[in-house]
Amino acid sequence: MKKKSWNRPVQIEIEIGPCKYCGKNMVNTESFVAFADKTKGHYKCMKEDDLKRSKTTNFSDSNLF
């Protein structure tokens, strides 16, 4: 039998601070985004926030009449 040596990437979880949207502490193994003002947030939360914002914009746009 041959021995297989696995070169597994070691993922170390590092806390990177709270999400600016939901306030939960994030770890570097999650999908997150960093903003220019040095705040960070979950990618998922950013998407949700984007949706909310575009909805609000659409609403006021369609409110012209």
**Least distance to Zn ion from the beta carbon of 13, Å?**
16
Strand spans (E) along the chain: 15-18, 25-27, 32-34, 40-42
Strand 32-34 relative to strand 25-27, pairing: unpaired
Q: Which is nearer to Zn ion, 27 or 56 (CB)?
A: 27
Q: Which is nearer to Zn ion, 21 or 47 (CB)?
A: 21
**Least distance to Zn ion from the beta carbon of 61, Å?**
28
**Least distance to Zn ion from the beta carbon of 37, Å?**
16
- Cα–Cα–Cα angle for 15, 16, 18, rounded to 5 degrees: 100
Contact residues toward Zn ion (CB under 5 A) are 19, 21-22, 42, 45
